[in-house]
């Protein structure tokens, strides 16, 4: 939460929100005025729950003022009463002249204990009541809109009697109101709208929570995101910044002459990555379909078709576990540029991330989870082999094809240093390429805090990248790491259809071998393990149509994918991917 303070400070409109909300809650607890309105009305009033079609048991504990159902019943009754009195509690429209923050800015110089009530000072605002203090002939409301908060100063003498009474009897925290009035800064220096006219625009039925367990009850925050957003405006700030980031990316891509296109989500073959896809069924076609796991193969087809610069920002789906960094659906940008190579993509990655950082934070120096990160260009560029060698002291390029010798060397390193590492994955590596990647993931990744381009991956783990122009066994590829996380993946694209076919075949083979090994292993462990392994198994298909497209000729091309969610996490200092996705996938309740 510490990190969030920065955001609040930059948003003048929200500066006081935490406090005013708290004070209102204190009011609720100590001041009897708002409290009575929340209580089931005295016994002289018809019991509203009876008219509710007996939804609730009779004889429920009437004293439990905190009961949500009781409050709901009281508020439902208020809805009826308002209608009976000729007020529609669900209004149709409101002509707003100003947002709260606009008024804060416009009247920043209005001195305390001063009113501004000329013709030009007549304003109309609308928003949700988040705090309410009512005294005999005076009421203070805090109203929150899209931009921030403002106080509503309600003085019975300045209003018609009816609205003031309405306010006292029918208005609750959580309701939406529309207000017309003039401006005043109170003796205490609080800018306020002097209310002349107030209308309830939407009656809320459920009270806002007394305490918002934002930090402890994490699940609830995501399940009822709107409550999270009402109670903590920073949440929406993240989504606003998310919109800024995608918008900045789009603007920059378009300025470079890229065309945004849409490729299908539902596909006959899930290609372009190695991940378990979601399967669905199209009834009319009587055909199983996969949800895309990448946009790569279709975008490349468009480069074949003559769109030399294309990109797509869109949803990707992977049928994998959820974590602070993984949601089954996430957003990526993939972009392809003819006549470019992976060096061009490194420059573009720097440019894009820098622009987004400036758009959101106004600076290339950012703090992520209390770690200082500099996004100042240029970023470190190093090959995967050299990074692995730096940490392990082993030059894996020196082993040629001798996988056993390489494994021995790797085991030597781990035995000497980090015994707890699971050595199984090392022993199972089918090639030196896989081995190097394995070791990279185990010991190097987490050390890459400052932006680093990790270059020139082994060909075995890069089925869609072009062979390196001078280093045999490697490809022209990079992954961008920041804070130990992969942010981008790019290559000079493989354009040779014959080699592409061979790579796909090798990929299918490796995948099937891995799946078979897992099944074999599970067999030894018993039925449940076997069932779970079968559940985890999936097929990697070959996209024949894509190879055919390559046979029609794709120009030399470079491509890059960037995970938008992770970029937003980084630039908004969000710890979990669920903080940057409005409605993340959650387990069954």
Give the torsion through C-alpha atoms of 264, 269, 271, 275, to 10 deg.
110
- In the complex, the smallest distance separating the C-beta of residue 153 from other proteins, rounded to whole angstroms, is 22
Distance between CA atoms of 313 and 305, rounded to whole angstroms? 20
The nearer residue to other proteins, 486 or 551, going by C-beta atoms, is 551
Map the footprint of other proteins across residues 323-342, applying CB under 8 A.
Answer: 328-329, 331, 338-341
Rg of the chain (C-alpha set): 30
Q: Which of 60, 229, 403, 529 binds other proteins (CB under 8 A)?
A: 229
- In the complex, the smallest distance separating the C-beta of residue 140 from other proteins, rounded to whole angstroms, is 20
- In the complex, the smallest distance separating the C-beta of residue 536 from other proteins, rounded to whole angstroms, is 7
Instruction: State phi, psi for 102 to the nearest 5 degrees.
Output: -60, -40
The nearer residue to other proteins, 543 or 573, going by C-beta atoms, is 543
The nearer residue to other proteins, 3 or 236, going by C-beta atoms, is 236
Strands (E), 203-278: 259-260, 266-267
Which tokens in the block code for residue 360? 């959101």
Distance between CA atoms of 6 and 9, rounded to whole angstroms? 5
Q: Which of 283, 370, 472, 527 binds other proteins (CB under 8 A)?
A: 283
Map the footprint of other proteins across residues 130-159, applying CB under 8 A.
Answer: 144-146
* Alpha-carbon distance values, 515 to 107, 276, 308, 333, 495 (Å): 67, 12, 38, 30, 29
The nearer residue to other proteins, 407 or 468, going by C-beta atoms, is 468
State yes or no: residue 273 binds other proteins (CB under 8 A).
Answer: no
Q: Which of 8, 110, 265, 519 binds other proteins (CB under 8 A)?
A: 265
Map the footprint of other proteins across residues 498-527, applying CB under 8 A.
Answer: 498, 501
The nearer residue to other proteins, 126 or 439, going by C-beta atoms, is 126
The nearer residue to other proteins, 192 or 204, going by C-beta atoms, is 204
The answer to whether 183 touches 195, Cβ cutoff 8 Å, is no
The nearer residue to other proteins, 76 or 508, going by C-beta atoms, is 76
Q: Which of 70, 102, 175, 456 binds other proteins (CB under 8 A)?
A: 175
DSSP symbol at 421: S
State yes or no: residue 230 binds other proteins (CB under 8 A).
Answer: yes
Q: Which of 492, 507, 572, 574 binds other proteins (CB under 8 A)?
A: 492
The nearer residue to other proteins, 115 or 344, going by C-beta atoms, is 344
The nearer residue to other proteins, 115 or 499, going by C-beta atoms, is 499
DSSP symbol at 455: E
Q: Left, alpha or beta for 86 (phi > 0: left; psi -120 to 50: alpha)?
A: left
Q: Which of 22, 160, 243, 531 binds other proteins (CB under 8 A)?
A: 243
The nearer residue to other proteins, 57 or 281, going by C-beta atoms, is 281
Bridge-partner residues for 453, per DSSP? 381, 480
Compose the 59-98 pattern: x for residues touching other proteins by CB under 8 A, - for all others: -------------x---x--x--------xxxxxxxxx--
State yes or no: residue 269 binds other proteins (CB under 8 A).
Answer: no
Q: Left, alpha or beta for 444 (phi > 0: left; psi -120 to 50: alpha)?
A: alpha
Q: Which of 22, 266, 516, 517 binds other proteins (CB under 8 A)?
A: 266
The nearer residue to other proteins, 135 or 552, going by C-beta atoms, is 552
The nearer residue to other proteins, 51 or 386, going by C-beta atoms, is 51
Q: Which of these ranges, 27-35, 456-464, 514-522, 551-559, lies near other proteins under the rule CB under 8 A?
A: 551-559
Helix (H) or strand (E) segment spanning residue 239: helix 234-255
Q: Which of these ranges, 169-177, 187-195, 429-437, 447-455, lies near other proteins under the rule CB under 8 A?
A: 169-177
Map the footprint of other proteins across residues 457-476, applying CB under 8 A.
Answer: 466, 469, 476
What is the DSSP track for 274-299? -SPPPEEEETTTTEEEEE-S-SHHHH
Which residues, including other chains, have CB under 8 Å from residue 81's CB and lie 6 or more apart? 170
Map the footprint of other proteins across residues 392-421, applying CB under 8 A.
Answer: none
The nearer residue to other proteins, 168 or 221, going by C-beta atoms, is 221
Strands (E), 91-175: 114-116, 123-135, 138-144, 149-155
Helix (H) or strand (E) segment spanning residue 240: helix 234-255
Q: Which of these ranges, 107-115, 186-194, 349-357, 543-551, lies near other proteins under the rule CB under 8 A?
A: 543-551
- In the complex, the smallest distance separating the C-beta of residue 285 from other proteins, rounded to whole angstroms, is 6
- In the complex, the smallest distance separating the C-beta of residue 226 from other proteins, rounded to whole angstroms, is 4
Which tokens in the block code for residue 165? 């009474």
Helix (H) or strand (E) segment spanning residue 498: helix 497-525
State yes or no: residue 321 binds other proteins (CB under 8 A).
Answer: yes
State yes or no: residue 275 binds other proteins (CB under 8 A).
Answer: no
3-class secondary structure per residue, 312-359: EEEEEECCCCCCCCCCCEEEEEEEEEECCCHHHHHHHHHHHHHHHHHH
Which tokens in the block code for residue 116? 């501004």
State yes or no: residue 552 binds other proteins (CB under 8 A).
Answer: yes
DSSP symbol at 535: H
* Burial class of residue 511, CB neighbours in 10 A (0-12, 13-18, 19+): middle
State yes or no: residue 205 binds other proteins (CB under 8 A).
Answer: yes
Of 455, 404, 410, nearest to 431 (Cα)?
A: 404
What is the number of alpha carbons within 13 Å of residue 7 lying toward its C-beta?
Answer: 22
Map the footprint of other proteins across residues 284-313, applying CB under 8 A.
Answer: 284-285, 287, 289, 291, 298, 301-302, 304-308
State yes or no: residue 496 binds other proteins (CB under 8 A).
Answer: yes
The nearer residue to other proteins, 194 or 340, going by C-beta atoms, is 340
State yes or no: residue 7 binds other proteins (CB under 8 A).
Answer: no
Q: Which of these ranges, 39-47, 155-163, 418-426, 547-555, lies near other proteins under the rule CB under 8 A?
A: 547-555
Q: How many residues bind other proteins (CB under 8 A)?
A: 120
Q: Which of these ranges, 265-273, 437-445, 453-461, 512-520, lies near other proteins under the rule CB under 8 A?
A: 265-273
Q: Which of 262, 415, 441, 539 binds other proteins (CB under 8 A)?
A: 262
Helix, strand, coil tally for the chain in percent (to 5): 40, 20, 35
Distance between CA atoms of 21 and 231, rounded to whole angstroms? 8
């Amino acid at each position: 939460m510490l990190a969030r303070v920065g955001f609040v400070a930059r948003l003048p409109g929200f500066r006081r929100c935490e406090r005013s909300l708290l004070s209102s809650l204190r009011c609720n607890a100590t001041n009897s005025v708002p409290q009575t309105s929340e209580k089931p009305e005295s016994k002289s009033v018809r019991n509203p729950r009876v008219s509710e079609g007996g939804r609730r048991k009779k004889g429920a504990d009437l004293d439990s003022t905190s009961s949500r159902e009781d409050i709901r019943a009281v508020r439902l009754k208020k809805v009826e009463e308002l209608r009976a009195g000729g007020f529609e509690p669900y209004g149709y429209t409101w002509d707003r002249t100003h947002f709260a923050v606009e008024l804060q800015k416009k009247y920043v110089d209005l001195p305390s204990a001063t009113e501004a009530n000329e013709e030009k000072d007549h304003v109309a605002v609308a928003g949700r009541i988040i705090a309410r203090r009512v005294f005999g002939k005076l009421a203070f409301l805090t109203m929150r809109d899209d931009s921030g908060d403002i106080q509503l100063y309600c003085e019975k003498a300045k209003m018609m009697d009816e609205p003031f009474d309405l306010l006292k009897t029918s208005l609750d925290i959580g309701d939406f109101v529309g207000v017309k009035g003039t401006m005043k800064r109170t003796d205490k220096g609080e800018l306020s709208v002097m209310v002349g006219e107030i209308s309830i625009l939407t009656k809320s039925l459920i009270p806002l929570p007394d305490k918002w367990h934002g930090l402890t009850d994490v699940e609830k925050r995501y399940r009822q995101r709107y409550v999270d957003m009402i109670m903590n405006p920073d949440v929406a700030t993240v989504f606003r910044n998310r919109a800024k980031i995608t918008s900045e990316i789009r603007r920059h891509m378009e300025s470079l002459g890229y065309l945004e296109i849409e490729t299908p989500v539902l596909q006959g073959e899930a290609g372009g990555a190695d991940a378990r896809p979601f399967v669905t069924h199209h009834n009319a076609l009587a055909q199983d379909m996969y949800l895309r796991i990448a946009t790569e193969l279709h975008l490349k087809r468009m480069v074949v078709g003559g769109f030399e610069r294309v990109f797509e920002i869109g949803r990707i789906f992977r049928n994998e576990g959820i974590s602070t960094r993984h949601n089954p659906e996430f957003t990526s940008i993939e972009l392809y540029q003819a006549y470019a190579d992976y060096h061009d993509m490194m420059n573009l990655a720097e440019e894009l991330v820098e622009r987004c950082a400036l758009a959101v934070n106004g600076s290339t120096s950012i703090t992520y989870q209390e770690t200082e990160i500099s996004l100042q260009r240029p970023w470190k560029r190093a090959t995967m082999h050299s990074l692995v060698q730096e940490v392990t002291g082993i030059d894996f390029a020196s082993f040629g094809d001798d996988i056993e010798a390489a494994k021995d060397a790797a085991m030597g390193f781990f035995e000497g240093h980090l015994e707890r590492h699971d050595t199984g994955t090392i022993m199972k590596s089918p090639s030196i390429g896989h081995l190097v990647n394995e070791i990279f993931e185990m010991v190097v990744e987490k050390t890459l805090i400052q932006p680093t381009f990790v270059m020139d991956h082994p060909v075995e783990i890069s089925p869609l990248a072009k062979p390196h122009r001078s280093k045999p066994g490697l490809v022209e590829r990079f992954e961008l790491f920041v804070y130990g996380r992969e942010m981008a993946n790019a290559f000079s694209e493989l354009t040779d259809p014959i080699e592409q076919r061979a790579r796909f075949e090798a990929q299918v083979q490796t995948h099937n071998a891995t799946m078979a090994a897992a099944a074999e292993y599970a067999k030894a462990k018993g039925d449940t393990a076997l069932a779970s392994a079968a559940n985890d198994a999936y097929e990697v298909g070959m996209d024949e149509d894509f190879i055919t497209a390559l046979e029609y000729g794709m120009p030399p091309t470079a491509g890059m994918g960037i995970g938008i969610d992770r970029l937003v996490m980084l630039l908004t200092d969000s710890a979990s991917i669920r903080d940057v996705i409005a409605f993340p996938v959650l387990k069954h309740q």
